[in-house]
Amino acid sequence: MENKSYLGKIVISIFVLLTVCFFTFILLFIVAFSGNIHYIPLVIAAAVILYIGFVLVIFDVFYKNSKRVKIFWTIAGIVLVACTVQPVYKWFDDRVPTVDSEVNIYQYEPFTDKNKLVQLDKKPTLKLAEPLPKIDGATALYPLYAAITEHIYPEKEYNPYKSEVVVNQTHEAYTNLIFGNTDMIFAAGPSDSQINQAEQQGIKLHLTPIGKEAFVFFVNSKNNVNRLSLDQIKGIYAGEITNWEEVGGKDDAIRAFQRPQDSGSQTALQRLMGDTPLMEAPTEDIATGMGGIINEVSQYKNYKNAIGYTFRYYSNEMVKNKEIKLLEINGVAPTRETIRNNTYPIASEFYIVTAGEPTGNVKKLIEWVLSEEGQALVEKAGYVSLKSAE
């Protein structure tokens, strides 16, 4: 009888094992499908502990032995706590706001009611007809070339993602230009890899400067550091300065975010660093230490010890995040006035980029942007025109 009872317990334990595996698999599928993969270790640990506990009970391992019960639940508790660290950290991390917030691009769509595009005081002297140049560009410059579109293109729908005038991130805009999907892009200067990619396709990029913009660094608004020197910026992004205390702040490790390779701001940082080696980007999940270097941090997290970078217009006019502050560089704040008088040390031109010399309507559009009317629109849109910066 005792053997039959023991065999019955084995059958029951196998049935419970299959049941636990079935429901655990379903739960893991739901967790993975929802993108919450950081819960997977916790789900597996809970299932294993539940099953082991059940088996120990039905085989009377815990019978009249409270010491074994305490040992089991102590070990189980330690395992569960360890598996809870990552989900808890992720929960808190998700509540840290992202600085590089997504902008509602549709509020700048040409020829729509109550859009935020600026207008010249008089009608433009140029009106383009078919074939209309296909325009692409960086998000930070979309308010400008959308306004240009509204002034000199025929009135119709220009969906920002599916029309003659679209918006992308810088690296996508360059790819579209190089492979002939667009006629011109509004962007910061190309990276070395973008220049090489163009050359591999037999294309020489033609850059026409149309205005100036500031490359800016920002920190959490509660950070007591208000200014950095260029040498300090380079030291931080070279990994030589690692604590805010080294630059006049509080004793806290510096978390220096970077952007995707070939993005406009990442290229600007690389140009700024010059011959100084740029450190690898930090791991995204420092608490778990699980690993790898994150090469493409697309959004800055507004940690109190973080530092990031972007362009002045995007930060001040499009995102308008009050939880961050722009740093003075070499004692100069990034404003239109300091860009205009060349006192802000990291101001650079932005361009209309074409694949080779511009011709036809593309050339007409560029000539108009460089004209008095076009430069007035650049200025009115909130950027710094070439003429005002002379």
Question: Which pLDDT tens digit goes with each residue over 99-128?
Answer: 555 578 899 999 999 899 999 999 999 999
Q: For residue 103, give the nearest of 156, 171, 160, 175 by alpha carbon.
A: 160
Spell out the residues 6+ positions from residue 293 whose beta carbon is closer than 8 angstroms to its own.
280, 281, 282, 283
- Report whether 354 contacts 136 (CB < 8 A): no
Note the pLDDT of residue 101: 53
Please indicate whether residue 353 or residue 281 has the higher confidence score (pLDDT): 353
Q: What is the pLDDT of residues 209-230, one digit of tens each?
A: 999 999 999 888 888 999 999 9
pLDDT tens string 89-99: 676 666 665 65
Q: pLDDT band at 368, cuts 50/70/90?
A: very high
Position 2 scores a pLDDT of 53
Question: What is the structure's pLDDT at 174?
Answer: 95
For residue 291, is pLDDT > 50? no
| Strand spans (E) along the chain | 135-137, 184-187, 205-220, 227-228, 255-256, 306-311, 324-326, 328-329, 347-355, 384-385
Nearest-CA neighbor of 125 among 370, 361, 369, 373?
A: 373
The residue type found at 170 is T
Q: Which range, of 71-80, 249-258, 341-350, averages the lowest pLDDT?
A: 71-80
**Looking at residues 294-300, what average pLDDT do you find?**
38
371, with CB counted inside 10 A (0-12, 13-18, 19+), is middle
- Categorize the per-residue pLDDT at 177 as very low, low, confident or very high, splitting at 50, 70 and 90: very high
- Compute and round to an integer the Cα radius of gyration of the chain: 29
CA neighbours closer than 13 Å in the CB half-sphere of residue 71: 7
What pLDDT, on a 0 to 100 scale, did the predictor assign at position 355?
96
pLDDT above 70 for 285: no
Separation of alpha carbons 114 and 111, rounded Å: 9
Query: Which two structure tokens, joined as six digits, stand for 371?
Result: 């004209």
Length of the chain: 390
Q: Per-residue pLDDT for 186 more than 80?
A: yes
